[in-house]
Amino acid sequence: MALPTLAIIGRPNVGKSTLFNRLAGKHLAIVNDTPGVTRDYRSAEAELAGRTVQLYDTAGLEDDKKDSLFVRMREQTSRALALSDAALFVVDGRAGITALDQSLAAWLRRQNKKIILVINKIEGNCPPHIRAEAHALGLGEPLAISAEHGDGINDLIFDALNILPRGRATEQTDVKPLRLAIVGRPNAGKSTLLNALLDEPRVMVGEEPGLTRDSIAVDWHYDDRPIRLVDTAGLRRRSRVHQSLEQMAVTDTLRVIRLAEVVVVVMDVQTLFDKQDLQITQMIIDEGRALVLVINKWDLVKDKAAKRQEIEYRLLELFHHAKAVPVITLSALRGGRELKELMHAVFRVYEVWNKRISTGKLNRWLMDLTAQHPPPLVKGRPLKLRYMTQVKARPPTFALWISRPDELPQSYEKYLLNHLREAFDMPGVPLRLMRRKGENPYKGKE
């Protein structure tokens, strides 16, 4: 079913993101007292009294600021409202109705949308003068709630479902979306890349560092394949992360990485393989996610052949835990066929990340490899590698039974994994090896 959509609109700091989280039943949006935390609109599905609804959380609207950032925030909010069937207009019951509320109410009356006027931050009875001021906005009878404490939420859900259309029938699919995250340092071009992939201005872009604060998830189809695409806040060095809001944004990005299946790391070609880039990439490898590297702003490179050689050398030197990581050079600002190459690489590493190898093939390979290059003697005694099986995928994880597991040198383990990767064609994903002691556990059970 195509879901009915409900946007949450209002000026800054009236509690829109708190209400969004309350209705979604999850802590999805960053909530902070700093004005303008939400800049792009974000979406989530919510179960409201047994019906599924698409929610949009939007940026706080300020109509008196001509700054480019606020103009872009208004454009994003207007876009979310245009995509919605109805809206919740939220005002602050503690602060009272402001001139900005009145201006926004006048703007909403011209949008030809069904509107519910919500007075937030009301615990208990709403003061009569606040209710009268809200009623004067001309948007119907106001509903008093406390998004933080849950007061009045059931009444709000009832009213919202009454004005929302029923879901429209669409083609059903049982295919789960591929969870794809875009991460990197500030100003590497992550949001520009997301917009280029979607071919629409879904998130704000600009020269300001740290423009994206909240992770923005978009449901998308590429070649009829569902994808959950997530743009994230730029990750800076921990020593430079001081403000609580920035710490919350970093925590949110780390959560996205843990939930992702494939992670695209965007690097600026002008500051290639910065220490922070390497830390981000190592973090993704440690989490066991499939990995694709994007070298952005490639149009600025004059000697492209020399730069490619430098990249290949650095990759061999730096990423021994995830050999043959796909590297896509592109200009996110200009788009082009490189975007198709990127998505092809994403699907390829996702396939490898899910790969399973039969136990028979693994043990034939292990027998041949150890015959050619047996493990070194330890304390004058040989190590016996007896049996190997894949215990899980996502990422590919293998158990190896050894006569003395603790004595297998790290260098030989690295040798095993490198040859395993080459023999079974598994580029771009971390491989994990678990050491086990004893004989072949399946010996005699055939």
**SS3 per residue for 239-271:** HHCCCHHHHHHHHHHHHHHHHCCEEEEEEEHHH
Predicted confidence (pLDDT) at residue 237 exceeds the cutoff of 70: no
- Token pair, residue 81, equals 């409202």
Model confidence over 89-130: pLDDT tens digits? 999 999 899 988 998 899 899 888 999 999 999 998 899 999
Beta bridge partners of 116: 88
Least confident of 103-117, 161-175, 221-235: 161-175
Nearest to 57 by CA among 77, 76, 42: 42
Distance CA 59, CA 331 (A): 28
pLDDT score at 239? 47
Distance CA 366, CA 359 (A): 10
pLDDT score at 166? 81
Predicted confidence (pLDDT) at residue 365 exceeds the cutoff of 90: yes
**Range from 264-273, 355-364, 420-429 that averages highest in pLDDT:** 355-364
Of residues 38 and 416, which shows the higher confidence score?
Answer: 416
Kindly report the three-state secondary structure assignment for every residue of 395-420: CCEEEEEECCHHHCCHHHHHHHHHHH
Nearest to 110 by CA among 82, 83, 133: 82
Distance CA 343, CA 292 (A): 10
Q: What percent of the chain has pLDDT over 70?
A: 83
Characterize the bridge pairing of strands 114-120 and 143-144. Answer: parallel
- In angstroms, the Cα distances linking 278 to 315, 370, 430 are 10, 33, 15
- 135 burial via Cβ count (<10 Å: 0-12, 13-18, 19+): middle
User: Residue 198: which H helix or E strand, with range?
Assistant: helix 190-198
Predicted confidence (pLDDT) at residue 181 exceeds the cutoff of 60: yes
**Range from 53-62, 201-210, 255-264 that averages highest in pLDDT:** 255-264
Sheet strand arrangement including 114-120: 42-48, 51-57, 5-10, 86-92, 114-120, 143-144
Predicted confidence (pLDDT) at residue 420 exceeds the cutoff of 70: yes
Predicted confidence (pLDDT) at residue 201 exceeds the cutoff of 70: yes
Predicted confidence (pLDDT) at residue 144 exceeds the cutoff of 80: yes
Crossing angle of helices 190-198/338-353, nearest 10°?
100
pLDDT score at 33? 46
**Average pLDDT over every residue of 136-161:** 94
Three-state DSSP class for residue 385: strand
Q: 44 with 55: CB under 8 angstroms?
A: yes
Predicted confidence (pLDDT) at residue 357 exceeds the cutoff of 90: yes
pLDDT score at 24? 87
User: Residue 295: which H helix or E strand, with range?
Assistant: strand 290-296
Predicted confidence (pLDDT) at residue 414 exceeds the cutoff of 70: yes
Of residues 254 and 171, which shows the higher confidence score?
Answer: 254
Identify the band that residue 34 occupies on the pLDDT scale cut at 50, 70 and 90: very low
Residues 6+ apart with CB under 8 A from 385: 366, 370, 375, 400, 401, 402
pLDDT score at 446? 44
**Average pLDDT over every residue of 75-82:** 81
Model confidence over 302-316: pLDDT tens digits? 999 999 998 888 887
pLDDT score at 315? 80
Beta bridge partners of 225: 222
Three-state DSSP class for residue 204: coil
Nearest to 214 by CA among 54, 446, 415, 28: 28
pLDDT score at 152? 94
Predicted confidence (pLDDT) at residue 261 exceeds the cutoff of 60: yes
Three-state DSSP class for residue 109: helix
**Average pLDDT over every residue of 247-253:** 69
**Range from 62-71, 329-338, 360-369 that averages highest in pLDDT:** 360-369
**Average pLDDT over every residue of 402-426:** 92
pLDDT score at 247? 67
Taking residue 410's Cβ as centre, other Cβ atoms within 10 Å add up to 7
Residues 6+ apart with CB under 8 A from 120: 14, 15, 18, 19, 90, 91, 92, 93, 145, 146, 147
Arithmetic mean of pLDDT over the chain = 84
Nearest to 73 by CA among 204, 218, 202: 204
- Token pair, residue 435, equals 């050491």
Amino acid letter for position 7:
A
DSSP track, 134-187 = HHTTSSSS-EE-BTTTTBTHHHHHHHHHHHSPPPBP-----PPPEEEEEEESTT
Predicted confidence (pLDDT) at residue 351 exceeds the cutoff of 80: yes
Residues 6+ apart with CB under 8 A from 375: 382, 383, 385, 408, 409, 412
Predicted confidence (pLDDT) at residue 65 exceeds the cutoff of 60: no
Residues 6+ apart with CB under 8 A from 119: 91, 92, 93, 126, 130, 131, 134, 142, 143, 144, 145
pLDDT score at 177? 92
Q: 293 with 318: CB under 8 angstroms?
A: no
- Token pair, residue 127, equals 């003061």
